[in-house]
Chains A and B, each alone.
Chain A
Amino acid sequence: GENVEQHPSTLSVQEGDSAVIKCTYSDSASNYFPWYKQELGKRPQLIIDIRSNVGEKKDQRIAVTLNKTAKHFSLHITETQPEDSAVYFCAAIPVNDYKLSFGAGTTVTVRA
């Protein structure tokens, strides 16, 4: 099955700086890569996703990049704000499968 690894496990950044989270996946058949944000005690919420036919996608201050050859994808948050503090999970899903395989998560802390 799919194995997703996520780094770093914790990330502390100064408000206004950028944050980058990286994930690798094992199954070359994976073609959909969502990112979820989970605030303390709350549900995971989809914040952005990317499909394998796209190399980069942006949505305001967040962007995702995908390198299919290397089987890794990244989340970039620019101009970080205190409300960006949360746990972020990457995930991968193979084509013709509906099972999300999650990374272990990255705890992001934005220091004011």
Chain B
Amino acid sequence: EAGVAQSPRYKIIEKRQSVAFWCNPISGHATLYWYQQILGQGPKLLIQFQNNGVVDDSQLPKDRFSAERLKGVDSTLKIQPAKLEDSAVYLCASSLEGQGARSFFGQGTRLTVV
């Protein structure tokens, strides 16, 4: 089966610039997650969608991060403006509704802010 697709794979931007990441979950997966994985650490949940609604965005720095999943399928995560400490891998994951633990991850987008 097709997995979770993410793009781009890599992105280098200067601080204060904007960047957007895209995620296409596994077909039929109602739940979509965005994680931030800083080098040497485990993934940290930023936001969780159930269809097109936000379930949990308590860890999302809302002053600079935003995310949407307008049609309940694809999702975009945006950072504006970026800071040096935003350098990380941004992972998208999806799961069937009610089975959040069995999440399938995308390859991630490695963001470097210089």
Q: In the bound complex, how far is the Cα of B44 from the Cα of A112, in angstroms? A: 33
Q: How many A-B residue pairs have CB under 8 A?
A: 57
Q: A103-B42, A104-B41 are in contact. Are A98 and B107 (CB under 8 A)?
A: no
Q: Interface residue tally of chain B, by bracket?
A: 20 to 34
User: Would A102 and B44 count as touching, CB distance under 8 A?
Assistant: yes
In the complex, chain B residues whose CB is within 8 Å of the CB of A89: 42-43
Inter-chain contact A98/B105, CB cutoff 8 Å: no
Tell me, rounded to whole Å, the shortest Cβ–Cβ distance linking A69 to chain B.
22
Interface positions of B from 58 to 114, Cβ below 8 Å from A: 91, 95, 98, 100-108
For A104, the chain B residues whose CB sits under 8 A away are 40-42
Q: Do residues B95 and A98 form an inter-chain contact, with CB atoms below 8 A?
A: yes
**A97 to B56 CA separation, bound complex (whole angstroms):** 10
Task: Return 30 A-B CB contacts under 8 Å, by A number.
Answer: A4-B42, A6-B42, A36-B105, A43-B3, A43-B4, A43-B91, A43-B105, A43-B107, A43-B108, A44-B105, A45-B105, A46-B102, A49-B101, A49-B102, A89-B42, A89-B43, A91-B42, A91-B101, A93-B100, A98-B98, A98-B100, A99-B45, A99-B48, A99-B100, A100-B45, A100-B100, A102-B42, A103-B42, A104-B40, A105-B40
